[in-house]
Amino acid sequence: MPLYGYLIQVNRSGNDGARYTLTKTICTIGRGSDCDVTIVAASLSPEHCRIVVNTQGEVFFTSSSPWAPALLNNEPVQNIDQLFHYDVFTVVGHSFRFETPSGQPLRNTGSQPPPLCIGMNRFVHVPPRLDFTKCITDFQEPAPRSGHRIVVTEDNIWSIGGYNSDLWDIENDDFTNYPLFRELWKFNFATRKWKKMTTLGHMPKELASHSAILLGQQLVVYGGTGIPFGVASSNEVYVCNLKTLRWSKLSTSGDVPLKTYGNSVMLFDEKLCVFGGTTGWQYNAEVHTLDLNTLEWEDLNNMGNNTKEPPGRYRQEVALHKNKLYIFGGGRADESYGFENLPAYDLLKLRWQEVKTTGDGKHGFPQPRKCHSCIQQDNELYMCGGYNGIEIFGDFWKFNLDEMKWTKLEATMPKPVYFHSTSLTKSGCMYIYGGVTHIDDIRTSHIYRVWLKIPKLSELSWQNITHTVADIENQDKSHLLQLGIPIQYLDRIN
């Protein structure tokens, strides 16, 4: 396999305001090789620096770019301190490929060292960023909540709705519905600040255990319940344009589903696919689709052989793979469903089947649960948290949809949680927000994240910049451009 190494990023600010990025490996290289090794190292800016490492492990900077300190050009680096004797540096960590001078990947028989400081499959707390100035004005963060939903872009977390039983005594106005949160919040990754958004149009009121997905810049919300639970449930579809922050309610027709909450939605072939949920008294396992072009509902429950239809349930999770909708867990008031055999609905053949899965070699299968969360990345599904009526879970599982096999991951959540919400960025970072953390109904407003794959170096570099540049949202954009930050990253600051 190719030989991989670590990346160290060095940020240096001089009197001229210049900022430099250097790289150096800190692992064994060129073992058994009789040729020099060249590292192609990429920074956040489009500039590149070539670094030569010989068989003795000496590092040479061969770039004459102005952003590389001249004292290092064409001189061997004897130790790590020589790089940092006047710089402030941050280890950011990334695996990258070594090449021979001819451009071929260098190979060895050893194993690839793990990436450094990325936190692969590890939960990392993401606290709000508190920037103290002479006075703090208009700083807000959401109250702890459960039953909400989040969606994420590369820029922000968007949180819609939720519930907190501690807020029954708050007086409502025309725009609030406490203890249910009739509100939309945004958490910006660059500034690490929350902002409660002011929206236009008619925001839904049934915002506990609803479903939400992101279609481009459109936040689509379906179902949910108001207060009291089950008395005021919904089967409406609302859309919020995240650019204009205007809500609209879709006018649909056809075989409209029951008014339910705790249902699941998935996008399939330009259709919104809805499964399950409860009216508060009745649980169902119905499948409906909404054609997003015609806005017509279709009932798929009486079109095929339904002898293997699963029991009705709510607060399950779903995954879509090879035209089949897989159902993970869920339950009723006094029952939770397991994961050894998964209900699967074939959206082309319009029939149910039961799929047997393979457990982890050491840990078997996840315990039955509801109110957990799952996200899907290609052919893999990741599951965390949940509740079975007695125990709150903090375990972390991966399920391969091709092999139908469970793997229990070593990581555990910082706190067991249920009624939380998760979402996944395109770059492969899973975010977890809110939920109930204690059997006595204690809720949280913490954000956690976990990388599910090694991110691009540019993504890691951008994260490092947002952590080291103070008050980045108030910096002049032209100044940030002069530092070499591409415009597409500056557009993430909002």
| 228-257 exposure pattern, b = at least 16 Cβ within 10 A, e = fewer | ebbebbbbbbbbbbbeeeebeeeebeeeeb
Q: What percent of the chain has pLDDT over 70?
A: 71
pLDDT value at 133 more than 70: no
Query: What residues does each domain of the chain span?
Result: 9-118+456-490, 124-451
Residue type, 480: L
| Between 79 and 240, residue with greater pLDDT | 240
Which tokens in the block code for residue 220?
């689509």
Asked if 51 and 68 touch (Cβ cutoff 8 Å), the reply is no
How confident is residue 152, by pLDDT bands cut at 50, 70 and 90? Answer: very high
Give the β-pairing of 253-254 and 296-299. Answer: parallel
Contact call for residues 30 and 37 (beta carbons, < 8 A): yes
pLDDT digits (tens, 9 = 90+) for 75-117: 433 333 333 322 222 222 333 333 334 444 434 333 333 222 3
The pLDDT assigned to 305 comes to: 61
pLDDT digits (tens, 9 = 90+) for 401-455: 999 999 999 888 989 999 999 999 998 889 999 999 988 889 999 899 888 887 7
The secondary structure of 460-479, three-state, reads: HHHHHHHHHCCCHHHCCHHH
Q: Which residues, 6 or more positions from 139, have their beta carbon under 8 angstroms from its beta carbon?
A: 130, 193
Pairwise pLDDT comparison (346 vs 482), residue with the higher score:
346
107 with 3: CB under 8 angstroms? yes
**Which range among 113-117, 151-155, 316-320 shows the weakest confidence by mean pLDDT?**
113-117
To the question of pTM greater than 0.85 for the whole model, the response is no
Of 470, 446, 429, 432, the C-alpha closest to 154 is 429
* C-alpha–C-alpha distance, residues 128 and 136, integer Å: 14
Residue 274, SS3? strand
Q: Tens digit of pLDDT for each residue in 52-78? A: 444 444 444 444 443 333 333 334 333
Question: Cα separation of 93 and 149, whole Å?
Answer: 32
Strands 88-90 and 19-20: unpaired
If you average pLDDT over residues 477-492, what whole number do you get? 84
The sign of the dihedral angle between the CA atoms of 267, 273, 275, 279 is positive
Q: What is the pLDDT of residues 450-474, one digit of tens each?
A: 888 877 777 877 877 887 777 888 8
- Asked whether the beta carbons of 372 and 391 are under 8 A apart, the reply is no
The yes-or-no verdict on residue 51 having pLDDT over 50 is: no
Rounded mean pLDDT, 280-289: 96
Q: Tokens at residue 7, please?
A: 């990346």
Other CB atoms within a 10 A radius of the CB of residue 146 amount to 24
Check residue 101 and give its pLDDT.
Answer: 40
Three-class secondary structure assignment of 25-88: CCCCCCCCCCCCEEEEEECCCCCEEEEEECCCCCEEECCCCCCCCHHHECCEECCHHHHCCCCE
Residue 180 carries which side chain, given as an amino acid letter?
A: L
Q: Which fold has domain 124-451?
A: Neuraminidase (2.120.10)
The pLDDT tens digits of the residues spanning 259-276 come to 999 999 999 999 999 999
